[in-house]
Amino acid sequence: MTTLFDSYTLGAIPLANRIVMAPLTRNRAAAGFVPGPFAADYYAQRATAGLLIAEATQVTQQGQGYQDTPGIYTEAQVEGWRVVTNRVHAAGGKIFLQLWHVGRISHVDLQENGGAPVAPSAIRAEAKTFVGNAFVDTSTPRALDLDEIPGVVEDFRRAAANAIRAGFDGVEVHGANGYLLDQFAKDGANHRTDAYGGSIENRARLMLEVTKAVVAEVGADRTGIRISPVSPASGISDSNPQPLFDYIVDVLSALDLVYLHVIEGATGGDRDFAPFDYTSLRRRFANTYMANNGYTLELATTAIESGAADLVAFGQPYIANPDLVERFKQHAPLNTIDQATLYGGGAKGYTDYPALAEQTA
């Protein structure tokens, strides 16, 4: 019987096990939105995961929505990420980078010249962002002009190329959690009447155009995508998500993407938040299905053994447990997260969580 600890081949990439570290925003980037001085330690500590997905990384300044998050659009950022990937590979790990444009989940203080964030429609999100070391309301966005949209696609393409130059094994398009691509796809945020609004095909267009551009740049075998069909994260909603995401996944499967990363339920919350048939996505997608959200060791074991998923991504458990794979193998207790050090700061609450071997000693 297949287990969580068995090896797996992701496209052409050998993974040591089927445990994935999900992308986790920690707000510790240095000047110039370059990965911070402890980032290489942080990811190398967790390299026993079959796959690491590095934190959401903005593809352009316009795509930034929170303070001190890293980018992948300048040479300094590429060089900073290269330090991280070199350390992860030296530790025997594999690592993808999540490509991110937040859209309306931003604040004027983070935008060039204090401009408004951009979105499919000028509808402010009922959500918070992290600016000035505090959680504040998002700013009211402006609707992207039709002639600006090709530039967004190009930003993702260039970012994907930069990620591969920085040494990443692949990239993940962030199409989830109420950020820009999710905003275009879902009718709660998209009230457009042009080629990017209205029908399912039109609303899905930007997510699919971005993904096609990334595939053309770095290859389908190095491109994954993350979606969250029913999650209300960042104030997002859709009136009928099943046919929307069935359509999206049909197209993604035809593109031969290496994996589909699905947040099942409400991000970081109730797995049964709203009715949705995830087995439909599993059936429609020809390659690797990565399950995420609220998975325990027991639930993940069942998912792998039953074939409901090929890989399982864990988020919060990886914050305090750099050796999560070993703790799972030994059914050892998990460290508790220090909530006060989740966002921003230095090594405390970032690279100082003890491994099981240290605690045993």
The residues annotated as belonging to the active site are: 179
Task: Indicate the residue type of 246.
Answer: D
Beta-carbon contacts of residue 240 (< 8 Å; ≥ 6 apart): none
212: nearest Cα among 245, 256, 243: 256
Task: Indicate the residue type of 154.
Answer: E
Burial group, residue 104, by CB count within 10 angstroms (0-12, 13-18, 19+): buried
**Cα–Cα distance measured from residue 76 to residue 80, given in angstroms and rounded to the nearest whole number:** 6
Query: 20 - beta bridge partners?
Result: 51, 313
Supply angle C-alpha 342, 103, 166, rounded to 5: 65
Half-sphere exposure of 82 (CA within 13 A, CB side): 10
- Distances 351 to 10, 115, 201, 322, 327 between C-alpha atoms, Å: 28, 35, 44, 8, 17
